[in-house]
Structure 1
Amino acid sequence: MSQKRELKVAAIQQTCSNDKATSLATSERLVREAASNGAQLVVLQELHATLYFCQNEDTAVFELAEPIPGPTSDRLGALAAELGIVLVGSIFERRMNGVYHNTAVVFETDGSLAGLYRKMHIPDDPGFYEKFYFTPGDAIFNDGRNGFTPIRTSVGSLGVLVCWDQWYPEAARLMALAGAEILIYPTAIGWDVTDEADEQSRQLEAWVTVQRGHAVANNLPVIAPNRVGIEPHPEGLGDGIRFWGNSFVCGPQGEFLARANETDECVLYATIDRERSENIRRIWPHFRDRRIDAYGDILKRVRD
């Protein structure tokens, strides 16, 4: 059975709580709203079940981690099955003692786990101390698949990446080369509230522009949900992070299909034309003209 040309998608932009049950209830409410309005693919933001806990380093936070399958994955899978949607969620995964991942999970319309992606690029910046918490995803899975492998679902092959991954063109290109039909970037990014307005504007526009660039370079639509709200520093050592929202969906030429504001919790809807990528690639043949014979040095840390 062939797929319909149009796919209605939804990106969830939400605030989060220090109580996991409260945050998950918010996620579920917004997912239900999206499904009731016809969304077939619903994407939640990064670490939507908790506050963004990486502002400091605290071993007690590891208590928030869960195995997969586990309580949160079971809940998200059941929700996908009930609503008949493909659902992309986020879990702080406990893989084994001492090994934790920032993991995106994708559930099929019957609630089964279609696949998962463990964040590959892990930042360690002021206010974003993720290397303390997360082990990088596997570059090669046990079954031989590359870590940048799309997850195949009934709504298409999803190139799921996570937040810091969005700054790396290599990740997007590898997903595209493996047949991804949509690039998806669940995100948690915001401003130091003390930054000047001009600096905040530059950071936001860089974030939007680089992802639109991945859409253009790979002729693929992009879905990028981000959180909103001010989350205080856990130890009161600073003013915290103001998450800048601006969740968006763009088409394969980088054109905005939908964009949220920087303050409001919302369900962002867009309709993706499944045939546009093929049509655009016929007139902008980036993949045909790649000089794969000349790119060997991309595997070096520095070109001497």
Structure 2
Amino acid sequence: MSGLRMAAVADNFDRDLEADFAKVAAHIAAARARGVRLLALPEATLGGYLLSLDGTAGNPPALAVDGPEVKRLAALAGDMVVTAGYCEDAGEVTYNSVVCVTGDGVLGNHRKVHQPLNEDANYRAGTGFAAFDTPVGRLGMMICYDKAFPESARALALDGAEVIVCVSAWPGAATNPDPDLAKDRWKRRFDLFDRARALENQVVWLSANQSGTFGSMRFVASAKVVDPGGEVVADTGVGPGMAVAEIDVREALVVARRAMGHLRDRRPEAYPALGGHLVEA
């Protein structure tokens, strides 16, 4: 089986939707030229993230999952599978969401479940995690702080996700930040979560993130591709860019799980409060 070429983007997106779409189009074109079939764009790609997490910042523009902006994203995606974050208009409430599209339309949509600091002043929390089928395999999605909770990725892995896409607007430390962003303690946590979630679930992990600054935030970038052994196979570092890697996903999962299968070897009866059933791929 040939490998799946995938990419994760680190870039800066703001309230200017036209400028955001210009960047999206450029990233998709660049990815397509490199043979990428699965592209992850950051949290809040369409409209930018919050200006701060103190509960006073206004929301980005609210967009409907079946609205013209998501349709525009799908048209740009064409034959590629593309994920991108946005502020979802759900009537009287909004969600911090990520959508997965191809030119045929929406394949999946995830609403961020875990909310850091005062993010809940701006968004309603999502209620769950579910994997879904796509032309490039079975995917799961999550957003930023979701990955700090092992249950998030485990729920997706148990639902058969082969690749988990985590889109983020992950900043550097809010207090005592390191002038060298590469040495920032929150950047280190970002990287540790990416590697740990891939390794403990033995899945391919695709991590996109905002870069640069926005409001009071200084983002750590560090978009990456991680293999099922927890090894980083492509990384943008702390600047904008695109991390590209080619992995035979099914083969990588088989090899990683052949001897010690972390999902297979679970003992659910020993931790009944967690539950969960393994869905065979």
Say yes or no: TM over 0.5. Answer: yes
| 1:66/1:91 contact within 8 Å kept | yes
Normalised by the size of structure 2, how large is the TM-score?
A: 0.90
In 2, distance between residues paired with 1:95 and 1:44? 22
C-alpha change, 1:19 and 1:32, in structure 2 (3 Å) is same
Q: CA deviation at 1:52?
A: 2.0
SS of 2:198's partner is: helix
Kindly indicate whether residue 106 of structure 2 is the aligned counterpart of residue 113 of structure 1: yes
Q: After the TM superposition, which of the residue ranges 285-294 and 199-208 deviates more from structure 2?
A: 199-208
| Structure 1: gaps (5+ residues) | 139-146, 233-239, 300-304
SS of 2:145's partner is: helix
C-alpha change, 1:105 and 1:216, in structure 2 (3 Å) is same
- 1:170 is matched with 151
Normalised by the size of structure 1, how large is the TM-score?
A: 0.83
SS of 2:258's partner is: helix
| 1:257/1:271 contact within 8 Å kept | no
| Structure 2: gaps (5+ residues) | 276-281
In 2, distance between residues paired with 1:213 and 1:192? 20
How many positions carry a matched residue from both structures? 271
In 2, distance between residues paired with 1:203 and 1:267? 21
| 2:95/2:112 contact within 8 Å kept | yes
C-alpha change, 1:23 and 1:63, in structure 2 (3 Å) is closer
In 2, distance between residues paired with 1:132 and 1:20? 23
Deviations 1:173-228, CA, capped at 9 Å, x for gaps:
11101100011100001125762429953221121112211111111111101111
- 1:143 is matched with none
| 1:228/1:243 contact within 8 Å kept | yes
C-alpha change, 1:219 and 1:107, in structure 2 (3 Å) is same
- 1:213 is matched with 196
Matches within 5 A, 1:276-287: 276-287=252-263
Q: CA deviation at 1:43?
A: 0.7
Select the residue among 251, 272, 275 that pairs with 2:247: 272
Cα RMSD of the aligned pairs, angstroms, is 2.0
In 1, distance between residues paired with 2:104 and 2:176? 43
- 1:225 is matched with 208
Give the letter aligned to residue 126 of structure 2.
G
Give the letter aligned to residue 111 of structure 1.
D
User: Hey, which bits of structure 1, 4+ residues long, moved more than 3 A?
Assistant: 56-59
C-alpha change, 1:194 and 1:122, in structure 2 (3 Å) is closer
- 1:102 is matched with 96
Larger Rg: 1
Select the residue among 219, 223, 238 that pairs with 1:243: 219
In 1, distance between residues paired with 2:243 and 2:236? 7
Deviations 1:210-247, CA, capped at 9 Å, x for gaps:
22111111111111011111223xxxxxxx22111111
Deviations 1:93-116, CA, capped at 9 Å, x for gaps:
11012x1111111113x3321111
